[in-house]
Amino acid sequence: MRKDRVRRIVALVIVLNLIQLGYFFLHRSIEQQTPDRDEQLPPKARVHSYVVKKWSLVESYSPWLPADRGSSHSCEAFFGNGFSDLRRVVDHSGSYGGSFRCYHSDALKTSICEGTKMVMHASRISMTAGGEEIDAVIGREEQEELPVFQVGAFELQVPDEADGKALVEGGRLDEVIARGHGGNRHGLRSLVESIRTVSSKSSRCSEVITKPTLFVTRFEYANLFHTVTDWYSSYASSRVVGLEERPMVVFLDGHCKSPMDDGWEAFFSGVKYAKHFGDNVCFDRAVFVPLGYETALFKFLGTGLACTGSSPAEVDASKTARLREFGEIFSAALSGSNSTEENRSDVIQVLLIRREDYLAHPRHSGKPESRLANEEELYKAMVDWASKRNSAAGARRKITIFNGLFAHMRLAEQIKAVKSSSIIVGVHGAGLTHIVFARPGTSVVEMLSPLFMRPHYMFISQWMGLDYHSIVMDDATVDCNQVLRHLDKVMAKLT
């Protein structure tokens, strides 16, 4: 009885194995006779869902909400929290299509635009590829690096009945995008003018970007001041459209690599040049950023915008915390820390921002015009001044002089030096833009040449809530004793 049961079990196992083996050979035969299904279908789009970074939570952060924007000409509005005039262009989202709208700021006279289900055709944007090493493109003309948008450079996916039309027709373009800097051939206005519609049924995507993406056109990409205006414009755009995470950035320009690239990479969730994509790249959500020239940082330098920096709790029509917020969030992104620790109470660091020869971009000689001929003499005088004060009887706080040779430092190291300093000294130039990363109450001593009497850093200091001092030189040489006297005055306040 038991032997019969074993025989039946063995026979059953043999039958099952034979069935499995027969199925294997039959299936293999069918595979050899039938073409691969993927070969019969259109190529599949590669879905790209990049890893996003969270915005850092810092002391000065406050929500960017319509209810908080107040007057269209308040300081909040001027610094970006005033894009409250929503101008809807199209909305086909209910018909499996895309939508397009722009947020207009009456204070800045510019717009931020946002589209869903957008298609980019890099071949229809005339410009160089971008991202090359600087040595490989020496002598390349600037116009070659700036975009010219051909018809259909961007498309909006729509139902069949709206296929092939201009997104914004006739005189309505003026209602959507204000004229001005955005009106030149590289700006937001010309980009929107080039957008056409495409049937969502016939449109094919070679790649799909699922996360929100900022499209940015840079001009003076290797200059810190102008790069900060681009960073700020990109940050404000992200906040205005309500991006809770840091987006990816696509450069709508063909500039080569620059020392500022570290900042773009650290501040956002990835950076790529438009020309590095193929054609028919689809973006689920695209945000088109106005030029850096459209921010308060650039637009109101000549008018002396009467705003002062403050904490979020003190903000009113004449105060703003937005520039401080940007500086703190950017610093946290580069350092990888949200720490807001105060400077050491027993040390006062004085930073001298130096200016050196360097090769910034293909059209640069590598020898910037000297604005402070006796810079090395000043540095030695400041070191001697600090040494005497430290050795004086009753000196409670040690003074250190930081030699700010920023051309030899990574951006994160530069910003760390700025945030660790109680006093920042520098000649007028892009390097002083670092003060947007300074702590509240930091003292700034700017040396001004008669040839460069510009108010940039006086106003930025005001908008940041910093303690500003200026020294007007007779020529490119500063009186070192005059600088030291200013430092004595600042030290009197600090101690």
* Residue span of the structural domain in which 187 resides: 46-299
Closest CA to 150 of 256, 233, 274: 274
With respect to residue 418, please indicate whether it lies within any of the assigned structural domains: yes
> In whole angstroms, what separates CA 50 from the centre of its chain?
17
Rounded CA separation 396/390 (Å): 8
Are residue 370 and residue 274 in the same domain, yes or no?
no
pLDDT at position 159: 86
- Bridge pairing between strands 319-320 and 398-404: unpaired
With respect to residue 329, please indicate whether it lies within any of the assigned structural domains: no
Are residue 276 and residue 157 in the same domain, yes or no?
yes
pLDDT at position 39: 34
With respect to residue 295, please indicate whether it lies within any of the assigned structural domains: yes
> In whole angstroms, what separates CA 441 from the centre of its chain?
26
Are residue 270 and residue 349 in the same domain, yes or no?
no
With respect to residue 328, please indicate whether it lies within any of the assigned structural domains: no
Are residue 125 and residue 265 in the same domain, yes or no?
yes
Q: 118, 286 in Cβ contact below 8 A?
A: yes
Rounded CA separation 400/1 (Å): 98
**pLDDT 10s per residue in the chain (495 long)?**
545 554 554 455 454 454 454 544 433 443 343 333 233 334 456 776 667 888 988 888 888 865 444 567 889 999 999 898 899 999 988 777 899 999 999 899 899 999 999 999 999 999 999 999 988 998 899 899 999 999 999 999 998 766 788 998 877 888 888 676 444 566 888 999 999 999 988 888 999 999 999 999 999 999 999 999 999 999 999 999 999 899 999 999 999 999 899 999 999 999 999 999 999 999 999 999 999 999 999 998 877 788 999 999 999 989 999 999 999 999 999 987 655 445 567 899 999 999 876 666 777 666 655 678 899 999 999 999 999 999 986 778 899 999 999 988 999 999 999 999 999 999 998 999 999 999 999 999 999 988 777 889 999 999 999 999 999 998 889 999 999 999 999 999 887
Are residue 235 and residue 366 in the same domain, yes or no?
no
- Domain termination site, one of 265, 280, 299: 299
Residues in the chain, how many? 495
Can you give the pTM of this predicted structure?
Answer: 0.87
With respect to residue 335, please indicate whether it lies within any of the assigned structural domains: no
- Domain termination site, one of 249, 274, 299: 299
Are residue 180 and residue 276 in the same domain, yes or no?
yes
Query: For residue 286, how many C-alpha atoms fall within 13 Å in the half-sphere facing its CB?
Result: 29
Are residue 294 and residue 407 in the same domain, yes or no?
no
Please give the tally of structural domains in the chain: 2
Q: 140, 128 in Cβ contact below 8 A?
A: yes
SS (H, E, C) the chain: CHHHHHHHHHHHHHHHHHHHHHHHHHHHHHHHHCCCHHHHCCCCCEEECCCCEECCCCCCCCCCCHHHCCCCCCHHHHHHHCCCEEEEEEECHHHCCCEEEEEEECCCCEEEEEEEEEEECHHHEECCCCCCCHHHHCCCCHHHHCCEECCCCEEEEECHHHCCCECCCCCHHHHHCCCCHHHCCCCHHHHHHHCEEEECCCCCCCEEECCCEEEECCCCCCCHHHHHHHHHHHHHHHHHCCCCEECEEEECCCCCCCCCHHHHHHHCCCEEEHHHCCCCEEEEEEEECCCHHHCHHHHCCCCCCCCEECCHHHCCCCEECHHHHHHHHHHHHHHCCCCCCCCCCCEEEEEEECCCCCCCCCCCCCCCCCCCCCHHHHHHHHHHHHHHHHHCCCCCCEEEEEEECHHHCCHHHHHHHHHCCCEEEEECCHHHHHHHHCCCCCEEEEEECCCCCCCHHHHHHHHHCCEEEEEECCCCCCCHHHHHHHHHHHHHHHC
Are residue 269 and residue 389 in the same domain, yes or no?
no
CA distances in angstroms from 420 to 203, 204, 424, 428, listed in the order given = 53, 52, 10, 21
Are residue 72 and residue 125 in the same domain, yes or no?
yes
With respect to residue 192, please indicate whether it lies within any of the assigned structural domains: yes
Rounded CA separation 93/34 (Å): 39
pLDDT at position 10: 46
pLDDT at position 357: 62
Are residue 178 and residue 287 in the same domain, yes or no?
yes
Are residue 223 and residue 90 in the same domain, yes or no?
yes
With respect to residue 128, please indicate whether it lies within any of the assigned structural domains: yes
Rounded CA separation 423/444 (Å): 6
Q: 324, 309 in Cβ contact below 8 A?
A: yes
- Domain termination site, one of 237, 265, 299: 299
Q: Is 363 left (phi over 0), alpha (psi -120 to 50) or beta?
A: alpha
With respect to residue 10, please indicate whether it lies within any of the assigned structural domains: no
**Which CATH number is 349's domain given?**
3.40.50.2300
Single-letter amino acid code for the residue at 106: D
Rounded CA separation 435/438 (Å): 5
Are residue 211 and residue 72 in the same domain, yes or no?
yes
pLDDT at position 358: 60
pLDDT at position 24: 41
